[in-house]
Amino acid sequence: MFIFTVHHQSMPQKSIAFLFFIPFLLFSFAWEQVKISPNVSVAFPKKPEKKIIEGKEIWIAELDSTVKMFVVITDFEKQGVDAKKMAELLKKAKTYTDLKNGFVLGAGNAVALKDSICTFKGKPAYYLKMDMRGEKEDLNKSQLMNVFVGAKMYGLWFLEKNGTSHEAEKLKFWNSLAIK
């Protein structure tokens, strides 16, 4: 036996209640565009935590327990390389080999799986995919898009657990990069 309860609520009241619910849905799934330097911003799934590590500004956010994304700004002017010198260095394959070796060494037990010299949003860029070779529950898949603007390198890191795929979120993160 089924019992149905009928509530006497007019259609306009239901419509009004639904209209109040829509902004909540949109807000809960909206990414936040964060200004990370005077001319550059990136969107994160939630407000990132900002840190300074070894003199580099870093913004970190998690999508969930299977994904972490962060942006690292490397200012080569602090190392004596201005924008003109950086432009010359980016024409040399050795620069990218040195970058790859530095990232792999810095990640400890990592192995480079794929890399490419490219452009991204009209700027020189370098893509690197690594296997971090950690424990099964660790964030072992690392994809990094380094975008060069003047003498700065904006590293957009996307880390995820093995056995998971978040291609749409990675693309949303990377494509949110806005350069004025």
CATH topology of domain 31-179: Protein Transport Mog1p; Chain A (3.40.1000)
CA distances from 92 to 1, 7, 86, 135 (A): 78, 72, 10, 36
Average pLDDT for 92-116: 92
pLDDT in tens, 38-91: 999 999 999 999 999 988 999 999 999 999 999 999 999 999 999 999 999 999
Q: What is the pLDDT of residue 109?
A: 80
Instruction: State the pTM of this model.
Output: 0.81
Q: What ranges do the domains of the chain cover?
A: 31-179
